[in-house]
Structure formats: structure tokens, C-alpha cells
């Protein structure tokens, strides 16, 4: 089963995913705009550079013997859409340094920038919790927080978190986004492409999280007290 990471477009500046889910009961909706498997893509790491980090408590399932482990504390980011757009627009050099090719890096960067326009809500939230658990979750969470807030050495952290394969070049962006996957049959190159891909769902496939409407059966009209009368014979006047 894949370990997935998500970007949510939200109405409130809060990195805690459970708070957004709880907010559905108050009619506060949010939308999932990107979804990646087994990685935190390079464009996401660029978008959230310098983002506000919130400490989030992650509950763990009890052991088979009934022991309840202490929750883990991760630092997760939220950011204004306008700031994320600016961060990404200023990150072309990261794509080009990773790929070692100006045009190759620009293709993935351009796709990532175009996918952040016309979002319906003002904030972005990144939820990488499942990906942290692919390795030691506390170590991965610490690397993630450093990647967003440290300039020195961050390139190595970007490669690590995105699972970018530096030894095999990514496919050209045009090929990656247009050809069937059956023709993209070099696994290592495909991993590099996926690391550079923003993994947007596309507006037609955005997944809106909305409160479930409670459908109540309309109450039956009250039964009026009826006076039971004998059937009137034709000859009686009453």
C-alpha cells in the first residue's frame, strides 16, 4: 500500500489535518489539489519554503498487548497561496540544479507554477505524515522541517525527501505528461520524473472535503383525532 502525501487548499491557516476534518462539522470545507505516492515532490518543498510550522500530535495505534504508545509530535506547514506561488516562481534554479539541464528543469517548474493559479481558498497545507513512516518518522519529520527552513545543505534534503534519483535523468516534461506510462519504462528515470512532478489532481479531479448532509425523513403530519361514527343509514337525517 502506498504511503501518500497531500496538499490541501484550505480556508483557515492551520497545519493540523484533524482540525480541518473537525471543521467539516461547522461547514468549513477544503479541497485536495495534489496527491503523491511514497515521496514529497520537489515543487511542494519549494512552495513551502519558510512556511509557518505548527506542532501536531500524531496518535499511534495501541500494541497487541494493549500498551498505548505516546503520540509523536511533528512540525507541519501551512502557507498563504500567494506566498507559495512566489516561492515556486523563484525556485527555477532548484529544478535546474537537480536536473543539470536548463530546459529539462524548466519544463517541470513551468508545469508546477501553472497548477497553482485560480485556487478557490487562501491557504495551502501539506500533509506528509504517511511518508514519514516509510523510515524512522521522527528523523524524517526533523529532516522535513530543516529542509523548509535551512538554506545550507537543503539540496541533499530535497533529494532525500522527494526520492530524486540523481544518477538517472528524468524524462522530458513533455514526454512525462503526454506519453502513456507503458512507454516510460525506465524505472529509475521515472522516479526522477515523479520527484519533479507537482502531482496535481487537476481542477476536474479536485477532491472536495465537505460536511455530510444529514438526511432526515420528514416527520409525518400529526394525526388528528377523528370521531368514529356509524355509517349513516339513508333514512336518517343526522
- 3-class state of residue 111 by DSSP: helix
Mean pLDDT computed over 136-144: 96
Residue 233 lies in a domain: no
Residue 134 lies in a domain: yes
Residue 213 has what pLDDT? 54
Residue 158 lies in a domain: yes
Which set of grid coordinates corresponds to residue 59? 496518535
Mean pLDDT computed over 65-77: 86
Residue 235 lies in a domain: no
Residue 219 lies in a domain: no
Which set of grid coordinates corresponds to residue 30? 477544503
Which one, of 40, 55, 126, 145, lies nearest residue 84 by Cα?
126
Domain that holds residue 147: 4-61+68-209
Residue 35 lies in a domain: yes
Which one, of 82, 76, 80, 91, lies nearest residue 40 by Cα?
76
Q: What are phi and psi of 95, to 5 degrees?
A: -60, -40
Mean pLDDT computed over 174-203: 95
Dump pLDDT digits (tens) for 193-235.
999 999 999 999 999 998 765 444 444 444 444 444 444 443 4
Q: pTM for the complete prediction?
A: 0.84
Which one, of 80, 75, 57, lies nearest residue 11 by Cα?
80
CA distances from 201 to 33, 179, 204 (A): 6, 17, 8
Which set of grid coordinates corresponds to residue 5? 502525501
With cell 477532491, the residue in question is 207
Residue 24 lies in a domain: yes
Residue 142 has pLDDT above 90, yes or no: yes
C-alpha span between 150 and 157 (Å, rounded): 10
Which one, of 80, 74, 31, 72, lies nearest residue 52 by Cα?
80
C-alpha span between 226 and 171 (Å, rounded): 81
Dump pLDDT digits (tens) for 145-174.
999 997 656 899 999 999 999 999 999 999
Q: Give 78 or 232, the one with higher predicted confidence.
A: 78
Residue 56 lies in a domain: yes
Residue 179 has pLDDT above 50, yes or no: yes
Residue 11 has what pLDDT? 94
Q: How many separate domains does the chain show?
A: 1
Which one, of 201, 46, 189, lies nearest residue 109 by Cα?
46
Amino acid at each position: 500500500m502506498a504511503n501518500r502525501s497531500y496538499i490541501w487548499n484550505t480556508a483557515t491557516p492551520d497545519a493540523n489535518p484533524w482540525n480541518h476534518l473537525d471543521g467539516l462539522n461547522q461547514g468549513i470545507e477544503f479541497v485536495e489539489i495534489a496527491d503523491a505516492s511514497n515521496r514529497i515532490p520537489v515543487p511542494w518543498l519549494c512552495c513551502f519554503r519558510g512556511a509557518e510550522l505548527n506542532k501536531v500530535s500524531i496518535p499511534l495505534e495501541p500494541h497487541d498487548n494493549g500498551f498505548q504508545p505516546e503520540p509523536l509530535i511533528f512540525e507541519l506547514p501551512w502557507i498563504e497561496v500567494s506566498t507559495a506561488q512566489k516561492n515556486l516562481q523563484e525556485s527555477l534554479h532548484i529544478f535546474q540544479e537537480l536536473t543539470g539541464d536548463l530546459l529539462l528543469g524548466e519544463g517541470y517548474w513551468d508545469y508546477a507554477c501553472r497548477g497553482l493559479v485560480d485556487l478557490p481558498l487562501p491557504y495551502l497545507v501539506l500533509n506528509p505524515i504517511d511518508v514519514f513512516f516509510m523510515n524512522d518518522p521522527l528523523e524524517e519529520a526533523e529532516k522535513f522541517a530543516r529542509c523548509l527552513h535551512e538554506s545550507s545543505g537543503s539540496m541533499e534534503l530535497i533529494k532525500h525527501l522527494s526520492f530524486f534519483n540523481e544518477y538517472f535523468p528524468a524524462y522530458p516534461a513533455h514526454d512525462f505528461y503526454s506519453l502513456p506510462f507503458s512507454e516510460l519504462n525506465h524505472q529509475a528515470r521515472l522516479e526522477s520524473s515523479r520527484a519533479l512532478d507537482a502531482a496535481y489532481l487537476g481542477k476536474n479531479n479536485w477532491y472536495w472535503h465537505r460536511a455530510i448532509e444529514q438526511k432526515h425523513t420528514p416527520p409525518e403530519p400529526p394525526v388528528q383525532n377523528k370521531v368514529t361514527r356509524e355509517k349513516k343509514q339513508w333514512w336518517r337525517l343526522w
